[in-house]
Amino acid sequence: MTTGFFWDEKCFWHGGGDYVLTFPAGGLVQPSATGGLPENPETKRRLKNLMDVTGLSSELAMQTAPEASYEDLARVHPKSFLTKFKQTSDAGGGELGRRTPFLQGGYEIAALSAGLSKSALSAVLKGEVKNAYALSRPPGHHCLPDWPNGFCLLANLAIAIEAAQAAGQAKRFAVVDWDVHHGNGTEGIFYTRDDVLTISLHEDRNYPLDTGDLADQGKGAGLGYNKNIPLPAGAGHDTYLEAMERIVLPALAAYKPDVIIIACGYDASIFDPLAHQLCTAETYRLMTRQVMQAAEKLCDGKLMMAHEGGYSEVYVPFCGHAVLQEMAGSKIDAPDPMAEIVAARQPNARVNQFHSELIGEMAAELL
Ligand SMILES: [Zn+2]
């Protein structure tokens, strides 16, 4: 069976605002030469282009998907919010939250982005593909039911999970969010539930500034089913793999999900302008291998990933190519042009030892 790859050129046409990094231009912040969002379409388009150039895309089941329906969106988002979003989008675009500007037609593009995730998850659960990747844009993991934020306009993965639940395709879902920012939206939506395990590995106090604590472990029936792993700035390859090995994989094994879902951001990479971690393309390859092995053991290999953040135009494509190559078990490689430099820039043994101790303390708290 093949790996499904869900993408659509229209998702690259989402835009709005004028930002320099995450600062809105204006006042003393000089407008950027190109304008637009820091969540730049080129990071994602260049991943697809690299896959075309190496030939990897010819080994995958490349496809688009229908927009998520209003009914799909309304399982997660209040109707009042959807109405306002649609009206603002029809009227030329605007901003309904924080750092989430959109143009005319932004509503339909966001629904398409959610639709790519929904179809990717459904294809995995129905056994149509071995595993699947959704190149969803705009991303989704920060979005709360009535408050889009952090470039996320709709909660793509929550919409996909609720649609799969409603269709009776699966009962227990595990979401591992390795985007460098806290998956506050996914956490918030499933915080009181035990049918969706949410795990977020993130840089401590990056975005949002006030969420993602180790102590936030769920509430009511959801107590124990939300796990935050806040890593200090400067964590690299060894620390990420160790956190996966010592916390994420045991948590997945204990939960026994029907499917493993990855909120796949590449902004923990060493070249990311919006964070301060030191992961490499090889880190993403090996984390993918870890979750694939877990999926084999726990849920018949069922694994779905949705693209979230990642802001280095040059480096994201190599990280993503490594992930897709691993998912597909392909021989087609895109060697990391920066491999020597990124290996040399990893933290030294003393820093890794400090991180290892932190991971041990977090494991004792979370498992
Ligand atoms: Zn992010």
Q: Which residues contact 268 (CB under 8 A, 6 or more apart)?
A: 178, 179, 180, 201, 203, 235, 240, 275, 277, 279, 283
Domain of residue 13, CATH code:
3.40.800.20
Pair 198, 183: CB distance under 8 Å: yes
The pLDDT of residue 152: 98
Domain residues for the domain of 335 are 3-366
pTM (global) more than 0.95: yes
pLDDT value at 34 more than 90: no
Interval 316-367: pLDDT, tens: 999 999 999 999 999 999 999 999 999 999 999 999 999 999 999 999 999 9
Place of tokens 């990391």: 336
The pLDDT of residue 75: 98
151 Cα–ligand 1 center, Å: 9
- Catalytic residue list contains 77: no
Residue, of 309 and 19, whose pLDDT is higher: 309
265 Cα–ligand 1 center, Å: 6
What are the percentages of helix, strand and coil residues in the chain, rounded to 5? Answer: 45, 15, 40
For residue 40, what are its two tokens?
């730049």
pLDDT value at 35 more than 90: no
Distance separating alpha carbons of residues 128 and 163, to the nearest angstrom: 17
Q: CA torsion sign, 291 to 296 to 298 to 302?
A: positive
- Strand runs labelled E in the chain: 3-6, 19-20, 23-24, 61-63, 93-94, 102-103, 131-134, 173-177, 196-203, 226-231, 259-264, 303-307
**What is the number of domains present in the chain?**
1
How would residue 218 be classed by pLDDT, with cut points 50, 70 and 90? very high
Pair 5, 130: CB distance under 8 Å: no
320 Cα–ligand 1 center, Å: 14
1 Cα–ligand 1 center, Å: 31
Q: Stretch 290-296: mean pLDDT, rounded?
A: 98
Phi-psi region of 301 (alpha: psi -120 to 50; beta: other; left: phi over 0): left
The pLDDT of residue 24: 86
69 Cα–ligand 1 center, Å: 26
Burial of 204 (0-12, 13-18, 19+ CB in 10 A): middle
Q: Which of 14, 77, 141, 142 is catalytic?
A: 142
Distance separating alpha carbons of residues 38 and 100, to the nearest angstrom: 10
Distance separating alpha carbons of residues 311 and 305, to the nearest angstrom: 18
